[in-house]
């Protein structure tokens, strides 16, 4: 089973305490697609401008990321500029949607509606439109952010009735629910319709909630973090990529998908740009996975 990912592809200008990089490859769908491609065939659906470097499309094809749904439109690619004064919080300096403004994807006939679907972090109205347009038959996951909770809460909660997995960070879970306790926040989100809830806690890992399973996965311990941009998207892509390898989803597979997502996110934050995430080799991933096993193993 494959995975369709719909979201933004961007060129970012990022400054952190550890450096500054301009016009680097970013976007929610980019990080998620590169991450998911470690495990599953991926079809990327988004839009870029004529200024988008061809080398990035070459990289995607090399990663076996399908780009038949990546529209190249006259104009400039979506651009985001941000500064991290500390490694936990981004200050948005400018956002230029450019060709992404008003984007309604033209979904090619080659896209398999039976594949799983990840609605990466974009406007929930657009996510809802895509859901209706595609009528997906596989597992549907949806990511979001505080902006949409503030301005599009009604549309977002309407979408929760349709998705299987809902991803958001701890602050967003509290914002959406009005609760301070994450268990209560997860219960609120479940009452709105989401079957499975993943609450991302950055450097502290992630929490998983469903009626039958509750699970905590720690973050991978790192000595150096250069750029946290795209970590949550990488996590979501890794999780959904691994789930897309399996026809039936067991508790064991769900747990492992969260672990794989957090390990891939650890690679994403070590360097700038999704392009560097794409350079991670399978042997690097396997080595870190074995180390993570040793770090988290306990005895009864």
Q: What is the pLDDT of residue 128?
A: 92
- 238-263-236 Cα angle (round to 5): 30
| Rounded CA separation 217/144 (Å) | 20
Q: Cβ neighbours of residue 215 under 8 Å, at least 6 residues apart? A: 207, 208, 254, 255, 258
Q: What is the pLDDT of residue 109?
A: 84
Residue 8, token pair as written in the block = 């933004």
Q: What is the pLDDT of residue 24?
A: 97
Q: What is the pLDDT of residue 13?
A: 97
Q: In what order do the strands lie in the sheet with 42-49?
A: 65-73, 42-49, 3-6, 116-119, 140-143, 165-169, 196-200, 206-209, 214-217
| Rounded CA separation 276/86 (Å) | 21
Tens-of-pLDDT digits for all 300 residues of the chain? 799 999 999 999 999 999 999 999 999 999 999 999 999 999 999 999 999 999 999 999 999 999 999 999 999 999 999 999 888 788 999 999 999 999 998 888 888 889 999 999 999 999 999 999 999 999 999 999 998 999 999 999 999 999 999 999 999 999 999 999 999 999 999 999 999 999 999 889 999 999 989 999 999 999 889 999 999 999 999 999 999 999 889 999 999 999 999 999 999 999 999 988 999 999 999 999 999 999 998 887
Beta bridge partners of 198: 167, 208
Q: What is the pLDDT of residue 94?
A: 95
44 exposed, middle or buried (CB, 10 Å; 0-12, 13-18, 19+)?
buried
| Rounded CA separation 232/188 (Å) | 22
Q: What is the pLDDT of residue 90?
A: 86
Please give the sequence-ordered ranges of beta strands (E in DSSP) within the chain, or none if there are none.
3-6, 10-16, 19-26, 42-49, 65-73, 79-86, 89-96, 116-119, 140-143, 165-169, 196-200, 206-209, 214-217
- 191-152-254 Cα angle (round to 5): 45
How many Cβ atoms sit within 10 Å of the Cβ of residue 112?
A: 17
Q: Is the pTM of this model over 0.85?
A: yes
* 203 secondary structure, DSSP code: G
Q: Do the beta carbons of residue 3 and residue 235 sit within 8 Å?
A: no
Beta bridge partners of 208: 198, 215
Please give the sequence-ordered ranges of beta strands (E in DSSP) within 101-146, or none if there are none.
116-119, 140-143
Q: Do the beta carbons of residue 199 and residue 207 sit within 8 Å?
A: yes
């Amino acid at each position: 089973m494959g995975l369709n990912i719909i979201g933004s592809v961007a060129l970012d200008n990022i400054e952190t305490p550890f450096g500054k990089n301009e016009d680097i490859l970013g976007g929610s769908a980019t990080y998620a697609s590169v991450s998911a491609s470690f495990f599953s065939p991926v079809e990327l659906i988004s839009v870029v401008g004529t200024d988008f470097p061809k080398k990035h499309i070459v990289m995607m094809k090399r990663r076996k990321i399908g780009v038949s749904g990546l529209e190249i439109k006259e104009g400039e690619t979506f651009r985001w500029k941000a500064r991290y004064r500390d490694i936990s919080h981004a200050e948005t300096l400018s956002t230029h949607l450019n060709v992404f403004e008003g984007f309604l994807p033209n979904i090619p006939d080659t896209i398999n509606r039976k594949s799983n679907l990840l609605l990466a972090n974009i406007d929930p109205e657009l996510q809802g439109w895509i859901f209706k347009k595609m009528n997906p038959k596989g597992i549907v996951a949806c990511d979001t952010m505080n902006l949409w909770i503030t301005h599009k809460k009604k549309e977002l909660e309407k979408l929760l009735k349709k998705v299987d997995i809902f991803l958001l960070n701890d602050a967003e879970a509290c914002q959406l629910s009005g609760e301070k306790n994450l268990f209560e926040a997860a219960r609120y989100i479940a009452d709105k319709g989401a079957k499975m809830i993943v609450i991302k806690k950055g450097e502290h890992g992630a929490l998983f909630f469903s009626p039958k399973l509750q699970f905590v996965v720690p973050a991978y311990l790192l000595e150096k973090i250069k750029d946290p941009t795209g970590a949550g998207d990488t996590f979501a892509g890794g999780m959904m990529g691994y789930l897309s390898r399996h026809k039936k989803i067991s508790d064991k597979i769900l747990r492992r998908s969260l672990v794989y997502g957090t390990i891939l996110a650890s690679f994403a934050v070590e360097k700038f740009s999704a392009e560097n995430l794409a350079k991670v080799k399978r042997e690097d991933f396997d080595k870190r996975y074995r180390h993570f096993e040793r770090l988290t193993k306990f005895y009864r």
